[in-house]
Copies of this chain bind each other. A is one copy, B any other.
Amino acid sequence: MSSTPETFHVYDTTLRDGAQQEGLNLSVADKLSIARQLDGLGVGYIEGGWPGSNPKDTEFFRRAAHELDLQHATLAAFGATRRAGVAAADDPLVAALRDSGASVVTLVAKSHDRHVELALRTTLEENLAMVRDTVSHLRTEGQRVFLDAEHFFDGYRANRAYALEVLRTAYDAGAEVVALCDTNGGMLPSWVGDVVDDVLSTGVRVGIHCHNDTGCAVANTLAAVDAGASHVQGTLNGYGERTGNADLVSVVANLELKLGRPVLPEGRLRDATRIAHAVAEVTNFPPASRQPYVGTSAFAHKAGLHASAIKVDPNLYQHMEPELVGNDMRLLISDMAGRASIELKGAELGYDLASMDEGRELITRITTRVKDLESQGYTFEAADASFELLLVEEVDGARPSYFEVESWRVITDSRPGEEAVSEATIKLLAGGARIITTGEGNGPVNALDQSLREAIGQAYPEVAKFELIDYKVRILDQGHGTDAVTRVLIETTDGVSSWVTVGVGHNVIEASWGALVDAVTYGLRRNGA
């Protein structure tokens, strides 16, 4: 069975429902960056947020209209039906949906009678009118409409006739699909299957939106599809309120790889692991190592007894080929998988390592260094620039070097009633001269960055155009507080492209310094210095 984006919707709600997760806080830039990753994964729909409900989501849709160049996905705006007693055309929140620039609007509606009475404080009849009017209005204005039937499963139990009437009302008014939401997350697969089956008999197109409160979000979603649902909602890495939403990658991988039902553009699933991890970098939540399909442990085997049998036939010990989701088999006692990925990574950067002189030894050496650095807390998944510097060092026998640091010092001062100020002094040798500079900044890293570029700029004026555009800190080895190892990722641009470097240290300033030095070194090399 094959599916097209229209016969089967893969609908992502990371940017809206996923963002409800405790501790998750996305800036507009974060949301744009995640939207690009989702488009790369090939999802059909990206729910971007609720324009009109808060300035950030409004801004996201405004910027998305000209900054996002989506190849696969259609952007959807989420929002509520009109308020009670107001015409849809006169409701400012409905207007914000209409004017969002999104061609799809996903309207959330109450389908549980008690919620209508208690949360909306209106009558069951008026709620139906709110659904009907809002869908009709947006359809008349030329938008496609999906309906999210909130608390549907609980509502169906409490008052089946009314819950179904809400769906039917939306569908008759022009909604393309009605997504049944297990908002409180208490369902089990067999129940979901039965309800979807019953709802389908009313003639509407059914979608499914699950939460993981029983640990069954993925299975509940599959049960709905098995019963005939043709629209699945979920989030990357299962982000979401409470226990999270259905993990969209697990849902899609199960549909494609287990049930033989392609739902993404061909080959996109092979980027799933990279994309899941890239999004984790943006949200700054550490990826769950045990996450199905994409976790770093998902295909890791404590080989032991079975090593020889694994060599003969690895598929006896894994449920699928990890490459299908862009992951790797890892034997925890062997470096085989490591070598292969180093080779691939080298090729990605334009280095055909295997065909170089002593290629085997070279790959072994790089693999060993990467493993060693990773055990100290480095990561090269995102920090391509630091990895390339390491590669160049091993291939050429020396690290590119444009300056020699003698010492540095940062002072941060605070006096009552004033903002703290940081000041960094750097002593280094560059272009044959000894240079001492002091830079100020509104933080220690900002001050170091200013001072470093001023010092090096005396020998290499091109560093003036480098700009630090992103700075991420992650504390590894939690439980030791400020004693922990700190990893810093820095993104730098030269106005044309950007690159990411990594630094690690017990001292966050030292870790930042390492990443800054790599950033400037890489930038100078790329600019032909």
Which A453-511 residues sit within 8 Å CB-CB of chain B? Answer: 467-484, 486, 490-491, 505-510
Identical copies of this chain, number: 2
Known: A290-B238, A475-B472. A441 touches B309 (CB 8 A): no
Which A288-336 residues sit within 8 Å CB-CB of chain B? Answer: 288-293, 295-302, 305-306, 308-309, 312-313, 316-320, 332, 335
CB-based nearest B residue for A443 = B507
Given the complex, which residues of B lie within 8 Å of A154, measured CB to CB?
316
CB-based nearest B residue for A312 = B118
Most buried by B among A215, A259, A409, A476: A215
Query: A42 in the interface, Cβ–Cβ < 8 Å?
Result: no
CB-based nearest B residue for A251 = B215
Known: A243-B295, A297-B22, A419-B510. A476 touches B189 (CB 8 A): no
CB-based nearest B residue for A468 = B481
Closest Cβ of chain B: how far from A487's Cβ, in Å?
8
Q: Does the CB pair A290–B481 fall under 8 Å?
A: no
Contact of A216 among B219, B298, B320 (CB under 8 A): B219
Mask of A245-256 contacts with B, CB within 8 angstroms, 1/0: 001001101100
* Extra contacts besides A219-B220, A412-B510, A443-B509 (4): CB < 8 Å: A409-B414, A442-B483, A473-B473, A473-B475
**Interface residues in chain A, defined as those with a beta carbon under 8 Å from any beta carbon in chain B:** 20-23, 25, 27, 29-30, 54, 112, 114-115, 118-119, 151, 154, 184-186, 188-190, 212-220, 222-223, 226, 238, 240-244, 247, 250-251, 253-254, 258-259, 284, 286, 288-293, 295-302, 305-306, 308-309, 312-313, 316-320, 332, 335, 379, 381-382, 405-416, 419-422, 441-446, 449, 467-484, 486, 490-491, 505-510, 513
